[in-house]
Amino acid sequence: MKPLQVNIKNALVNQDELKGYEDRLKAANRRLHSGEDDYTGWVDYPIRYDQNELERILQTAEKIRNQCEVFIVIGIGGSYLGTKAAVEMLNHSFNNLSNLKEEKYPRIFFAGNNISGTYHNELIEKVKEKEISICVISKSGTTTESNIAFSLFKKLLQDKYGDKGSERIYVITDKEKGILREETNEKGYTDFIVPDDIGGRYSVLTPVGLLPIAVFGIDIIEMLKGAGDAYCEYNHSDLSNPCFQYAAVRNILYKRGKLIEVFEAYEPKLRYFAEWIKQLFGESEGKEGKGIFPVYLQFSTDLHSMGQLLQEGNQIFFETVLNVENPDRDIIIPEGSLEVFQGKSMNDINAKAMEGVLLAHLEDGIPNLRIDIPGLSSYYFGQMVYFFEKSCALSGYLLGVNPFDQPGVEKYKKSMRKLIK
Ligand code: PA5
């Protein structure tokens, strides 16, 4: 299958500048694959995952599908964004409008990704009469948001199903540490383990994402195949490696004062994939006073609100377009629209919007990268995840930070807990 590609021809970076990065990138690649750094277990995970565990994930997903109408996924940050990204990218956009009873798959709702009493109260109000199963995902098992939401839904299950409620609880957590582990062992919930050597934001292709994603019939075997192919495709150590190019261009632009990377997609299904990317880059690079600030704009929507700032505002950013080459569906524009649109494909017009924006921005000297994604499928989801994870790790090494820790997040967690106490 055609791999995802990076187009840097409009990045306003020349070959000599790129060449200057070759040795550092080779060294970074060796370091990444050597396993000498903690939390690099994700690097070869797609080619070494446990087949028996995968089988157990698929069987559990089937059980959950047969058990519930509503599936609540509880988690925050790296423990939910990957799942949300996959479900939004690969499911029908308007599933919520179809009749629940006729659906093969349960409805998914996310909880514990905020501490809003209104959000959780409204969610419980709407789902409490349905058949419910829940999956709580927390590597540490101590995160405030997921801990609170888990207690709310545990109570709901207990009130609804009594002791049988625990048969509807699925847990993904550390194999030894944390209160969630203790409770899981005590109550005998069905559980899966977050690998020790993989951090939250790099964990979507482990049980953390695979179980909840599989519940929706999304092909996780193809997803792992896409990631496995990406492992091979992006493993070679020369400058034609798209991960090398992307990491180098980001670093060059950052040094030129381009402190913000604006991710842009013309396909709304990519919105949460971009949110996942934001976490990946933000948490991996934002430390020691360094880091490119990742933001996301949905096009053409945000052209009507942010287009002016991009075109003529403070030029401290560069753009990275997530371009879907072959969209799933299309629609022909009928009579009744302006004559110039009639009979044309909506996707063609969307593509022209992308080209038009690029040309206008280039005229004003705005650097632009394009990530060409052949299509929105499970396979390419796996490729995209792997491509961005690897690029981010290389980019972090170039920046001189540890792309696998998050000391700042730990700081806020501690200070919030102190105040709550
Ligand atoms: O990437 C990370 O490490 C974080 O975003 C965590 O995933 C997030 O804070 C949730 O942590 P936990 O899975 O321990 O509940």
Helix locations, 2-50, DSSP H: 15-19, 22-34, 45-48
> According to the model, what pLDDT value does residue 412 have?
80
Residue to probe by mutation, ligand 1, list 38, 42, 74, 76, most atoms within 8 Å of CB = 76
Q: Is 184 in the pocket of ligand 1 (CB under 6 A)?
A: no
79-111 core/surface letters (b: 16 or more CB in 10 A; e: else): bbbbbbbbbbbbbeeeeeeeeeeeeebbbbebb
List the one residue out of 46, 47, 22, 27 whose CA is nearest residue 37: 27
212-229 core/surface letters (b: 16 or more CB in 10 A; e: else): bbbbbebbbeebbbbbbb
Helix locations, 132-178, DSSP H: 144-161
Beta-carbon contacts of 373 under 8 Å, excluding residues fewer than 6 positions away, are 4, 322, 323, 324, 325, 380, 384
Q: Which atom of ligand 1 is nearest to the CA of 199?
A: 3
Rounded to an integer, what distance in angstroms lies between the CA atom of residue 170 and that of residue 138?
Answer: 11
120-138 core/surface letters (b: 16 or more CB in 10 A; e: else): beebbeebeeebbbbbbbb
Q: Which amino acid is at 120?
A: H
Q: Is 212 in the pocket of ligand 1 (CB under 6 A)?
A: no
List the one residue out of 304, 284, 295 whose CA is nearest residue 402: 284
> According to the model, what pLDDT value does residue 407 have?
86
Rounded to an integer, what distance in angstroms lies between the CA atom of residue 59 and that of residue 82?
Answer: 21
Sequence-ordered strand ranges (E) for 300-384 = 317-324, 368-373
**Domains of the chain (ranges plus CATH)?**
5-36+224-399 (3.40.50.10490), 45-218 (3.40.50.10490)
Q: Which residue has the tokens 């690998």?
A: 195
> According to the model, what pLDDT value does residue 100 have?
66
Q: Is 199 in the pocket of ligand 1 (CB under 6 A)?
A: yes
> According to the model, what pLDDT value does residue 297 have?
98
Q: CB count, 10 Å around CB of 35?
A: 12
Q: Is 264 in the pocket of ligand 1 (CB under 6 A)?
A: no
Strands 368-373 vs 70-74: parallel, antiparallel or unpaired? unpaired
List active site positions: 283, 304, 413
> According to the model, what pLDDT value does residue 267 have?
98
Tokens of 286: 């934002």
pLDDT by residue for the chain (421 residues), tens only, comes to 889 999 999 999 999 999 999 999 999 999 999 999 999 999 999 999 999 999 999 999 999 999 999 999 999 999 999 999 999 999 999 887 776 666 788 999 999 999 999 999 999 999 999 999 999 999 999 899 999 999 999 999 999 999 999 999 999 999 999 899 999 999 999 999 999 999 999 999 999 999 999 999 999 999 999 999 999 999 999 999 999 999 999 999 999 999 999 999 999 999 999 999 999 999 999 999 999 999 999 999 999 999 999 999 999 999 999 999 999 999 999 999 999 999 999 999 999 999 999 999 999 999 999 999 999 999 999 999 999 999 999 999 999 999 999 888 878 878 888 888 8
